[in-house]
Structure 1
């Protein structure tokens, strides 16, 4: 039976949320990755400044995420979502108007704040309006991130043959406008029924500690690849391969949350988290170890099929453990990891990206080791209802 919310069908809600996520994350946040090599060669952007600009965006994302946690009304505001979409598009369009690194820094910082706000509003709306529907529909909605990556990747791939780095930013802003128009009518979640935070139990603390460590390390490792994968492949193979690989990342990410939701019906989440992290580590290391087109495309596929799934699995485990403020703590740890990632590898970029990718893969392996702890005597019988909102779990995307 299909439930209609505010005159909009669940499928339409999923499409609107996917469009918002495509604009805010797939384009607004991640289009920097395929444009980065063009900026290196055409605008004189150094590797260290490139890493600094990436960090600025992640700092902005953390600021936006904290705003959503500290001011819960933000994630229920259509005005905030629409304003953030407009601001985000403006930051994209303004990038080619200057060569000043400090202005670029400010633009990417503001873009990070705006993308985080739209992300939280879209995801919370997605799950508020799809409760009781097919568990895979939300997964496809969240796949809008991957769709945005793929579409912007195709755009930059074409532009690199007919235009400049500035054209790529302007074209991306235009694509974001199209997505924003499609997302404009998205209805944020209504005020939820608040239940007190679960007190947690001492027995769940050790698993949650392992989860926080794993997710923090994943934030460091994944963002290294998410920022520098295209530039690294461009150096190791034909230049078009990097942009092509980023398209593969998006195409693999688009159905990935629905895929991991299906797998969670057959295997435990701790097992899936471990497997996904191991697969991702291999994918990040592959282009650093083996050159050529084939390994580059395989790397892109493995990265794309895991990075969204790992987030959904980890946050679902945190909610299941009923640890107080689980989602807030996990989100904060992940965001801090993303800030540290580009800074950690900056000294390694002097001679290319190989060492940076190897370090990223090693960090993700460390995340897998921490995740392995979850598999031992995991309390799978805890009574957790993923459809009950708490004051700290309003923005979790729990794709089961």
Structure 2
């Protein structure tokens, strides 16, 4: 195996650069916000404003994801990927130098768009460059970068805070870290020469949207909701439980650790037991994790809630996207665009109702109840989808 990590066409280099780009795009530009939420709530943010910032960040990410689906030329993708990395770094730096709420609002929208360019477009470049017969397993390794993105940015943030610095310093260190890491990612994830790409134009095919496919799209909306409440508030949810003050960040660290192998494990199970069956199990496990903080203050149970969350949400993204790609056949862009939009809408809506319940009841419990109920509806939809599956769909 070629171990020259400066070789742009070496599979190991490509996977490392891909994981680094996920750490910058999703970790620095998104998940670090969750990690730093407790200290920011102490001195600057309100829970309401934090929820609004999360909603606009996901709206920016949604717009970027949809936009990226229609960029066919791989050379343009490289330019957009680099632009996304730069936006992620700049918008992170801004959070460390100002407390102007308008600037934060705009910066989180742009950070969401940049994250989509870094993650969605970056993943497309990784997939194009990898030289494997079966790229599914390799992409499972690439998506483990989501878990690494949570773990890495959390450890960096905690190191800065534990050395006596404030959350502003954490943002500045994270942006410096991202600058250094981006050099390797941008060097490897490009091409030695301009790639000639044959753009295949597909007409919008309404026949793709069978009742089964529509149920899958709606179920992915419920997972968008299931993902986002804990992705935004989990450390603060744990810190507000009696006797668990200060354990929020440890729980978040466990989310990252559990997320690293989750995509590989769930995708492996899906290839043997069928995607829909495994998605139902993963959603059920996630629902239990969402509910744990509402009925116990036991430290071990609540640490487990972080493990169950991290161990499911990364895998569910891989499972739904992989299933959508297979259902679409030779026309993946439209269907992947539809499921991404559905998931994104769930991500934008959930922080908003969470803020409403927290303001009304002074507790996260009601937002967690509603979130778990919506995930449960997704499970019911998928059980119904199983009754109308074709034999071919059962094998996916």
Same fold (TM over 0.5): yes
Q: Distance in 1 between matches of 2:316 and 2:60?
A: 22
- Residue-pair matches, total: 382
- Once the two structures are TM-superposed, the CA of residue 246 in structure 1 deviates from its matched residue by 1.0
Q: CA RMSD in A?
A: 2.7
* Change beyond 3 A, Cα 1:80–1:358: same
Q: Distance in 2 between matches of 1:55 and 1:91?
A: 16
Q: Distance in 2 between matches of 1:158 and 1:192?
A: 48
Q: Matched residue of 1:160: which SS? A: helix
- Answer whether contact 1:64 1:112 (CA < 8 A) is retained: yes
- Answer whether contact 1:22 1:144 (CA < 8 A) is retained: yes
Aligned to 2:78: 78
Q: Distance in 1 between matches of 2:160 and 2:367?
A: 27
Aligned to 2:335: 326
Aligned to 1:113: 113
* Change beyond 3 A, Cα 1:178–1:245: farther
- Answer whether contact 1:28 1:176 (CA < 8 A) is retained: no
- Answer whether contact 1:75 1:120 (CA < 8 A) is retained: no
Which segments of 5 or more consecutive residues in structure 2 lack a partner in the other structure? none
Which segments of 5 or more consecutive residues in structure 1 lack a partner in the other structure? 385-399
- Answer whether contact 1:42 1:164 (CA < 8 A) is retained: no
Match of 1:339 among 331, 343, 348: 348
Aligned to 1:208: 213
Q: Is 1:63 equivalent to 2:70 in the alignment? A: no
* More helix, by proportion: 2
- Once the two structures are TM-superposed, the CA of residue 155 in structure 1 deviates from its matched residue by 2.1
Q: Is 1:220 equivalent to 2:229 in the alignment? A: no
Q: Distance in 2 between matches of 1:7 and 1:41?
A: 45
Q: Distance in 2 between matches of 1:200 and 1:268?
A: 25
- Once the two structures are TM-superposed, the CA of residue 37 in structure 1 deviates from its matched residue by 1.4
Q: Distance in 2 between matches of 1:256 and 1:89?
A: 27
Q: Distance in 2 between matches of 1:106 and 1:168?
A: 20
- Once the two structures are TM-superposed, the CA of residue 363 in structure 1 deviates from its matched residue by 1.5
Q: Distance in 2 between matches of 1:382 and 1:354?
A: 38
- Answer whether contact 2:8 2:188 (CA < 8 A) is retained: no
* Change beyond 3 A, Cα 1:197–1:276: farther
Match of 1:254 among 249, 260, 265: 260
- Answer whether contact 2:71 2:77 (CA < 8 A) is retained: no
Q: Distance in 1 between matches of 2:160 and 2:101?
A: 23
Q: Distance in 2 between matches of 1:254 and 1:76?
A: 30
* Change beyond 3 A, Cα 1:341–1:80: same
Q: Distance in 2 between matches of 1:271 and 1:9?
A: 36
